[in-house]
A and B are shown apart, each in its own frame.
Chain A
Amino acid sequence: MKLKRLAAVLLAGTMLFGATATVSAEEKAADEITIWAWDEAFNIKAANVAKEMYAETNPDVEVNVVTMAQDDIVAKLNTSLASGSYEGLPDIVLIEDYRIQGYLNAYPDEFAVLSDIASPDEFAEYKTGVNQVDGKMYGIPFDSGVAAVFYRTDYIEEAGYTAEDMQDLTWDKYIEIGQAVQEKTGKYMLTLDPSDLGQIRMMLQSAGAWYTDAEGNVTIKDNQALKDAINTYKKIVDSGISKQVADWDQFVGAFNSGEVASVPTGCWISPSVLGAEDQSGKWAVAPFPRMAENEASVNASSIGGAGWYVLKNVGHEDAAKAFLKDTFASNVDLMNQLAVDINLVSTLKASSEAENYNKGVEFYGGQEIFKDFAEWTNEVPAVNYGEDTYAIEDIMTEVVQAIVGGADVDETLEMYQTQIEGAVAN
């Protein structure tokens, strides 16, 4: 009998909070769409600006923008889609280029085809390699991850080089300059994080290559570009011009406090560079170095970047598509605005005509960086990242460490070919 009292206490406890809670499971209005993205200072701001612009012509559509960590989005999306439960899922979601093929393959009937609201030739070519399956387009490309060398003009000059020398760079020249910088200024040329193969990835893409081929087969051994990239990486490490860092904040901290002369990475790092206001006027941007020994390698590459996708079965496919069509798929005004607001380098080709793309930025000594970024974006070789980039890379860090430590390149790559094939086999 006393159990009843206990049960009553229990029930009352949950009821108390349930009572207020159940109200929230409200039905979404027909033209209410939800967007998930990460990074409050970048993607979220972009979504909010798009929302405002869209509201001017479509006041009856309600758009909810939700901030979430990227890992959290991935976890939630996977759990929900695998459970076949659409409750609480967004209509539009931002997905990283490296991951999207995995999603499209794992959940083939969950994403809406967007071929009717956009066409691949309106965007930078390299961005549309990953969001298509069987010739159908599933995503609207968003930010450019075009790679560049952000560098300190003062350090480079002190080392006896000019902005001219930074153009059309090869990695050999880059290392040469780095050694001079180190000698004259005592600063490192760049930071490297042994757990992050971003540099290798950028070198690979500069040669139009990847860890896998166009059919998704693992190509570790006999991959000339990979070999060249790892050799180049080893040369950088051996030359002693790199400072080792262990994570993102040490990476940012190193250039904010003036410890390194250059940052070779994606253009999205710009806001972090701008963070050190006292260094205004001391920075410039140059195209990404190419690997001289590799014929295919060009002075352009990419790292990171994402696109917008529509979840088909959540219930507002048409409204979500209509929203994307008028905003990220076509709106040059939006891109113009976002260049100022969040330093976005758009992958929409038309946006290079936008007013703000032709303005100099004082922090970078008046350089028209957006124009440069936009130009380089169109030169990035297209690569299909496949669906296993991260799985392969976790093992590749071992490979690179071994080779940097002195192991033979060909032997090591051959040895790991089978292991990686095994790891990505489903």
Chain B
Amino acid sequence: MSGNIKSKRSYSPKLNRKAWTFVLPGLALIILFVFYPMIQAFITSFQTGAGNQLTFNGLVNYKRLFNDLTFRKALTNTLLYLVIQVPIMIILALAISSMLNTKGLKAKGFFRTAIFLPCVTSLVAYSIIFKSLFATDGFVNALLMNLNIISEPIAWITHPVWAKVLIIIAITWRWTGYNMIFYLAGLQGIDDSIYEAAEIDGAGAWQKFKSITVPMLKPIILFTTINSTIGTLQLFDETMNITQGGPANATITISQYIYNILFKYSPDFGYAAAVSYVVVVLIVILSMIQMKVGDKND
């Protein structure tokens, strides 16, 4: 797409200066409010001690990570959520938004609003309702048993594996509509006449989706993928509110572990910072891979 912008250009000094003025306000705010604290946090990650009793201690925190079984658990859980949940959600959101973009479909406004509603539903309300729907004697088990899909009720919240499944269902439920918005917006940039031309050539719905929608939306798909990756690696709300990381840390995420180290246990700011930087490194690597894949044959 838009091949010309990829080519290298040179700008007149005046235009170049103007270009920087567009970037500058945003950049300045990010440097001050994100990079400055980031550096501070990095320094803290070499300190140990409770509360404000911090002293420099070299790599002790980073070494501690290797023997920390809870950290290992949080890391594997988080990566598991990432690998399973992000693709499901991205595909679902893409499918829904391209359906909502087809001509002649009725009640689009209703469907759009309905599918967006999970974003508005309060976290408090939805964690209560999820817990009651997925209780052992709850609605979901009753439904599955009536449909003869299962013969024994599933312990959604208290079984270590099913609890993870529940978390994945919950995140998908809450964030699919959110990603849908980005796609709906992006789809408006695709000219109708392209679809019309394809239809004349006899292209079916799947073909149009595969050879027009997906390639045209590539920048947005890249955006949502990276964004969801970051969101999942920093996942906190769902596990905190639905399972509290339980049963027995089976659903705990890295972000929740950081929160616990900071506030639930005796506050250990140095160790929390060290754990955070592991997350940063992970996200950087994953995003770089995604960018590489996303930029290919562009």
> A: which residues have CB within 8 A of B?
2-3, 6-7, 10, 71, 74-75, 78, 81-82, 84, 102-103, 105-108, 194-195, 244-247, 249-250, 387-388, 390-391, 394-395, 397-398, 400-402, 419, 422-426
Contact = CB atoms under 8 A, between A and B. Distances in A.
A402 B247 CA distance: 11
A89 B64 CA distance: 33
Nearest to B247: A194
B243 A195 contact: yes
A388 B53 CA distance: 17
Contact of A71 (B155, B248, B249, B263): B263
A10 B260 CA distance: 37
28 contacts: A2-B21, A6-B25, A10-B25, A74-B264, A75-B262, A78-B267, A82-B51, A82-B267, A84-B52, A105-B51, A106-B266, A107-B51, A194-B247, A195-B246, A245-B135, A246-B157, A250-B131, A250-B132, A390-B264, A394-B245, A395-B70, A398-B248, A423-B70, A424-B265, A424-B266, A426-B48, A426-B49, A426-B50
A394 B51 contact: no
B98 interface: no
B50 A397 contact: no
A382 B245 CA distance: 30
B266 A388 contact: yes
Given A390-B264, A397-B248, A398-B248, A246 B135 contact: yes
B67 interface: yes
B43 to A, nearest CB: 14
A150 B268 CA distance: 39
Contacts of A395: 70, 249
A195 B268 contact: no
Interface of B: 21, 24-25, 48-53, 64, 67-70, 128, 131-132, 135-136, 155, 157-158, 243-249, 260, 262-269
Contacts of B53: 106, 108
A107 B53 CA distance: 7
A402 B49 CA distance: 32
Contacts of B248: 194-195, 397-398, 400-402
Contacts of A387: 50, 266
B247 A394 contact: no
A424 B268 CA distance: 10
Contacts of A397: 246-249
Nearest to A6: B25
With most chain B CB atoms within 10 A of its CB, the pick from A2, A102, A402 is A102
A75 B258 CA distance: 12
Contacts of A108: 53
Main secondary structure on B side of the interface with A: loop
Given A397-B249, A398-B248, A106 B50 contact: yes
A249 B266 CA distance: 27
A71 B241 CA distance: 13
A423 B260 CA distance: 12
A9 to B, nearest CB: 10
A109 to B, nearest CB: 9
A6 B249 CA distance: 49
Nearest to A192: B158
A5 to B, nearest CB: 11
B51 A106 contact: yes
Nearest to B262: A78
B25 A102 contact: no
A106 B68 contact: no
Nearest to B52: A82
Nearest to B67: A422
From A84, A105, A194, A195, residue with most partner B Cβ within 10 Å? A195
Contacts of A391: 260, 264-266
Given A194-B248, A395-B249, 14 more contacts: A3-B24, A6-B21, A75-B263, A106-B51, A107-B51, A195-B246, A245-B135, A249-B128, A387-B50, A387-B266, A391-B266, A394-B245, A394-B260, A423-B69
Contacts of B51: 78, 81-82, 103, 105-107
Q: Most chain-B CB neighbours within 10 Å: which of A102, A247, A419?
A: A247
A3 B247 contact: no
Contacts of A103: 51
A388 B247 contact: no
Contacts of B69: 419, 422-423
A3 B67 contact: no
A82 B64 CA distance: 22
Nearest to A245: B135
Nearest to B268: A426
Contacts of A6: 21, 25
In this complex, the member of B157, B245, B249, B266 whose beta carbon has the largest number of chain A beta carbons within 10 angstroms is: B266
Given A10-B25, A194-B158, A106 B52 contact: yes
A394 B265 CA distance: 10
A102 B48 CA distance: 15
A78 B249 contact: no
Given A10-B25, A246-B131, A105 B266 contact: yes
Report, nearest first, the 6 A-B pairs whose CB atoms are least far apart: A106-B51, A195-B246, A102-B266, A398-B248, A106-B50, A391-B265
Given A387-B266, A397-B247, A3 B21 contact: yes
Contacts of A246: 131, 135, 157-158, 243
A166 B7 CA distance: 84
Contacts of B131: 246-247, 249-250
Contact of B70 (A394, A401, A426): A394
Contacts of B158: 194-195, 244, 246
Contacts of B50: 102, 105-106, 387, 426
Nearest to B267: A78
B135 A194 contact: no
Given A107-B51, A246-B158, A398-B248, A78 B263 contact: yes
Determine which residue in B51, B132, B246, B260 has the highest number of CB atoms from chain A within 10 A of its CB, and name it: B51
Contacts of A82: 51-52, 267, 269
Contacts of B64: 422, 425
Contacts of B25: 6-7, 10
B267 A423 contact: no
Nearest to A396: B248
B274 to A, nearest CB: 13
A83 to B, nearest CB: 8
Contacts of B132: 250
Nearest to B134: A246
